[in-house]
Amino acid sequence: MGNFYEQVYAVVRRIPQGKVTSYGRIAQMLGQPRAARAVGYALNALKDKDEKYADVPWQRVINNQGRISIVNRENSASHQAELLRKEGVVVDENLRVNLDVYLWEGLHWVEIDDILGS
DNA sequence: ACAGTGACAACAT
DNA sequence: TATGTTGCCACTG
């Protein structure tokens, strides 16, 4: 596992309850604006990890269109929707979230430096 | 070393 | 809006 994954998890852990962000925005925060797919890949890898990563709120990451990206895989998409609704995020019947309301502002460079410099 | 694989995103129809 | 296409990148066998 590369350090990139760890950086992704560190940022995702900072997303407050009731807010969401996108794969692309996380990639930007990490200084790699085109690594959106890799971010999704990193979150996908969480299911193969131990309880040490159980606190990563992966459900708070959706795509840039404000839509849940998980495709099929035994309804895990609706599962993500349920987790978000429990946190107070409104997810419509088409698995869409209003980013104008729930988008997380993200981290400032000082906080980013704190995370990456660990 | 290298081709294949995604929970992406931008752009074109 | 809704699809389809193309470029991307970290990670994996």
- From the CA of A69 to the C1' of C4: give the distance in Å: 17
Domain membership flag for residue A33: yes
Strand B and A44 CB separated by under 7 Å: yes
Task: Please tell me whether any atom of strand C lies within 7 Å of the Cβ of A35.
Answer: yes
How far is A65 from A72, CA to CA, in rounded Å? 18
By C1' distance from the Cα of A36, the closest nucleotide is B8
pTM of the model: 0.93
The dihedrals phi and psi of A71, each to the nearest 5 degrees, come to -105, 130
Structural domain for A92, as ranges: 4-111
In a domain, A50, yes or no: yes
Tell me how many degrees the CA angle A59-A65-A71 measures, rounded to the nearest 5.
55
Q: How many domains does chain A have?
A: 1
Which CATH number characterizes residue A13's domain?
1.10.10.10
Say if residue A48 is exposed, middle or buried (CB neighbours under 10 Å; 0-12, 13-18, 19+): exposed
| The pair of three-digit structure tokens given for residue A106, joined into one six-digit string | 């993200």
CA-based nearest residue to A61, from A17, A112, A20, A98 = A20
pLDDT digits (tens, 9 = 90+) for A74-110: 567 789 999 999 999 999 999 999 999 999 988 888 8
Is A117 inside any structural domain?
no
Percentage, residues of chain A above pLDDT 90: 75
Considering the domain boundaries, does residue A28 fall inside one?
yes
Segment A44-70 shows an average pLDDT of 94
pLDDT band at A72 (very low <50, low <70, confident <90, very high): low
